[in-house]
């Protein structure tokens, strides 16, 4: 499949550390790393599967620029394996941990870009909450106002890395903590942000790795509760793999028991056969 060159604007810049700290992004990012330390053995298979899927899909392909959405702590991204193979690697996240900024200084062609991949909803919702507290004007969501865009060419490849479900969940949790918000509005936000993200990938060559269902195993190991995490259909892709991720084996994430996430990995192109 050949895509025409695309030249559109880069992501909306990150709103900055002050706002992100007040919204809880920074503490949430640290909390994720702490959970990884507690669950490192249980997470290993998932992280290896994610990195392996990426390497399989990118093998022997003509790629000058790799854009990674939701790079985070680089736990599930095989950065070292791709250095020297891909000319430019752009790691995109709302905020990059200082340890990662320090790490990439050793790698030529790697750049960290602080950006809001929702297209601006992070700062918009922060200001909406601030406005409500100041004036009491009710929150109103306009689903047609924002669409994220990205600058890319036919030699670019975009990876959405275990971020599709997270980008709306965090914002909704923030809104629910600060204001009253009805279920219809919550669903509208989920659909808008998730659908925009998928459409962003469809503009060119992509890899999408995401959790799509949450399984809760109770403490007696006798039953499961299944919760869908996505409000939109995933794109039809030419190469797909699935696996389970034991996200929380100790029952600290959900008081009902262990949390297992069902993962689907998709690529717009079939991998090269060695």
Contact yes or no for 117/69 (Cβ under 8 A):
yes
pLDDT at 9 over 70: no
Q: Does residue 225 belong to any structural domain of this protein?
A: no
How far apart are alpha carbons 99 and 103 in whole angstroms? 6
Pairing mode of beta strands 65-69, 156-161:
parallel
* Confidence tier at 274 by pLDDT (50, 70, 90): low
Q: How far is CA 265 from CA 105, 200, 212, in A?
A: 29, 17, 10
Q: What is the mean pLDDT of residues 211-216?
A: 94
pLDDT of residue 8: 35
Residue 210: how many CB atoms within 10 A of its CB? 24
Q: Per the structure block, which two tokens stand in for 79?
A: 């950065």
How far apart are alpha carbons 259 and 251 in whole angstroms? 7
Q: Does residue 272 belong to any structural domain of this protein?
A: no
Q: Does residue 155 belong to any structural domain of this protein?
A: yes
Q: Does residue 170 belong to any structural domain of this protein?
A: yes
Q: Per the structure block, which two tokens stand in for 127?
A: 């200001």
pLDDT at 145 over 90: no
Percent of the chain whose predicted confidence (pLDDT) is above 70: 95
* Confidence tier at 3 by pLDDT (50, 70, 90): very low
Q: Does residue 166 belong to any structural domain of this protein?
A: yes
Domains in the chain, number:
1
* Confidence tier at 137 by pLDDT (50, 70, 90): confident
pLDDT of residue 168: 93
Q: What is the mean pLDDT of residues 23-43?
A: 95
Percent of the chain whose predicted confidence (pLDDT) is above 90: 72
Mean pLDDT of the chain: 90
Taken in order 132, 138, 139, 141, the sign of the CA dihedral is negative
User: Measuring CA to CA, which residue among 64, 116, 63 is closest to residue 92?
Assistant: 116
Q: Does residue 174 belong to any structural domain of this protein?
A: yes
Q: Give DSSP secondary structure letters for 159-196.
A: EEES-HHHHHHHHHHHHHHHS---HHHHHHHHHHHHHH
pLDDT of residue 1: 42
Give me the numbers of helices (H) and strands (E) for the chain, helices first please. 8, 9
* Lowest mean pLDDT segment, chosen from 122-126, 217-221, 236-240: 217-221
Q: Range of 50's domain?
A: 12-210
Question: What's the pLDDT tens digit per position in 150-177?
Answer: 877 778 999 999 999 999 999 999 999 9
pLDDT of residue 14: 92
pLDDT of residue 115: 94
User: Measuring CA to CA, which residue among 72, 53, 114 is closest to residue 242?
Assistant: 53
Q: Does residue 125 belong to any structural domain of this protein?
A: yes
Q: Does residue 241 belong to any structural domain of this protein?
A: no
pLDDT of residue 150: 80
Name residues whose C-beta falls within 8 Å of residue 118's C-beta, 6 or more positions apart in sequence: 12, 146, 148, 167, 168, 171, 193, 196, 197
Higher pLDDT, 26 or 149: 26
């Amino acid at each position: 499949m050949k895509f025409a060159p695309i030249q559109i604007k880069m992501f909306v810049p990150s709103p900055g550390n002050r706002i992100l700290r007040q919204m809880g992004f920074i503490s949430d990012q640290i909390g994720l790393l702490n959970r990884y330390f507690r669950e490192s053995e249980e997470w290993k298979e998932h992280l290896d599967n994610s990195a392996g899927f990426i390497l399989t899909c990118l093998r022997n392909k003509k790629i000058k620029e790799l854009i990674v959405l939701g790079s985070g702590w680089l736990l599930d991204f095989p950065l070292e394996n791709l250095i020297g193979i891909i000319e430019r690697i752009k790691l995109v996240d709302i905020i990059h941990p200082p340890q990662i900024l320090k790490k990439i200084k050793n790698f030529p062609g790697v750049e960290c870009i602080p950006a809001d991949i929702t297209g601006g909803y992070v700062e918009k919702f922060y200001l909406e909450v601030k406005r409500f507290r100041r004036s009491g004007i009710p929150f109103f969501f306009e689903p047609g106002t924002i669409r994220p865009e990205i600058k890319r060419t036919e030699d670019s490849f975009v990876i959405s890395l275990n971020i599709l479900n997270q980008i709306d969940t965090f914002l909704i949790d923030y809104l629910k903590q600060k204001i009253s918000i009805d279920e219809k509005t919550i669903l509208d936000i989920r659909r808008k942000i998730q659908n925009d993200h998928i459409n962003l990938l469809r503009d060119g060559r992509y890899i999408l790795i995401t959790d799509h269902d949450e399984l809760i195993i109770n403490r007696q190991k006798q039953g499961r509760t299944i919760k869908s995490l996505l409000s939109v259909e995933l794109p039809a892709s030419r190469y797909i793999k699935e696996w389970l991720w034991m996200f929380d084996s100790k029952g600290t994430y959900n008081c009902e028991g262990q949390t297992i996430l069902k993962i689907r990995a998709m690529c717009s192109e079939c991998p090269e056969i060695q």
